[in-house]
Amino acid sequence: MRSCFSDQSQKFVWVIGADNKAEYRKVKPGPMIDSLRVIREGLQSNDRVVVLGLQSVRPGIEVKPEEADPQKFVGGSGEKVVTTQGAK
C-alpha cells in the first residue's frame, strides 16, 4: 500500500482533518523498516492518513472517512489509517 507521494522534489501524504476535509501534508520520509516507510517529520500520531480512494482526493474536498484495520494495510503497526468513499 502506498500513501506517500512525490510532488516535484517534495514528498506528501493526504491527511483527513477533524472537519473531514482532505489536507495536503508535506512529510520527510526516513528509512524503510520491514517494508514500511518511516515518516520522520510532518505527521502526528493521531493524524488520519488516506490509504484507499486516493484517486478522488483533492485539497479541501470533504470525504466520508472510514477507519480501517491497520493490520490490513501496514502490518499491525497500530497507526490510524483512513479509507475514503469519495466526496460527500
pLDDT tens-digit series, residues 33-70: 877 788 899 999 889 988 888 888 899 999 888 887 76
Q: Give the CA distances from residue 44 to residues 17, 24, 65, 85, in Å, rounded to whole numbers and listed in that order.
A: 12, 14, 18, 23
pLDDT band at 76 (very low <50, low <70, confident <90, very high): very low
pTM of the model: 0.71
Please list the alpha-helical segments (H only) found in the chain: 70-74
User: How confident is the model at residue 73, as a pLDDT?
Assistant: 62
User: How confident is the model at residue 22, as a pLDDT?
Assistant: 94
Averaging pLDDT over each range in 22-26, 49-53, 79-83, which range is the top one?
Answer: 22-26
